[in-house]
Amino acid sequence: MAVPPWLESLLSTAFFTVCTTHGDAARGECNMYCLDCKGDAFCFYCRSSKHKDHQVIQIRRSSYHDVVRVTEIQKVLDISGVQTYVINSARVLFLNERPQPKSGKGVAHICEICGRSLLDPFRFCSLGCKLVGIKRNGNASFSLEAKNEVVVMDRTRREGISKEEEELREGSQQDIYPPTPPPPPSSA
């Protein structure tokens, strides 16, 4: 499963609308999303009554764009390759691409999908761009299982390199005083 079944629904959901049931309440804006139900956004009070035992994430806003905290989303999704930002002391990532005027000269990193300039060497500016990248190229994944396999393979490879380095070090210690080579044959 490269893409979880709830992701496309999450990315197309309209957040921060007024809840039809709890619109008059202080926390009546729809900024919650249930990964189990894969339905519309809902408010804090709907969560308490309808989604009590479900896996729910809270969507936040930054400059009129929807973001999710890394600590919440990384539990259910491999977010590797997606640019993260620190906003209000929390590390977040954007749900969807954000339009940007043509990137300026000297931009070192850009999103592979939309061309947005990035701060760090990431591949995508948002979850939406990573989704497009997966569908287009298939060389990325949202699967935590695949991420864990890569981590295990990487760790195994690193341990293998460490063992090789250790053997080389031991070998080089022995090569400090190499045996004297035999004299070259005489031409007489």
Domain interval for residue 50: 5-137
**How many H-runs (helices) and E-runs (strands) does the chain carry?**
5, 9
**Cα angle, residue 96 at apex, residues 77 and 50 outer, rounded to 5°:** 60
Asked, for residue 73, whether it belongs to a domain, the answer is yes
Q: How far apart are CA 141 and CA 163, in angstroms?
A: 30
Q: In the structure encoding, which two tokens stand for residue 52, read together?
A: 């009590």
pTM: 0.71
pLDDT (tens, 9 = 90+) of the chain, 188 residues, equals 578 989 999 999 999 999 998 888 888 899 999 999 888 999 989 888 788 889 999 999 998 999 999 999 999 999 999 999 999 999 999 999 987 876 667 778 889 999 899 988 999 999 999 999 998 887 777 877 655 554 444 444 444 444 444 443 344 334 344 455 566 666 65
Q: What angle do CA 87, 90, 91 make, to 5 degrees?
A: 85
Residue 78 falls inside a structural domain: yes
Tokens 């990035």 map to which residue? Answer: 118
The answer to the question of residue 186 being in a domain is: no
Q: Is residue 158 part of a domain?
A: no
Domain presence at residue 177: no
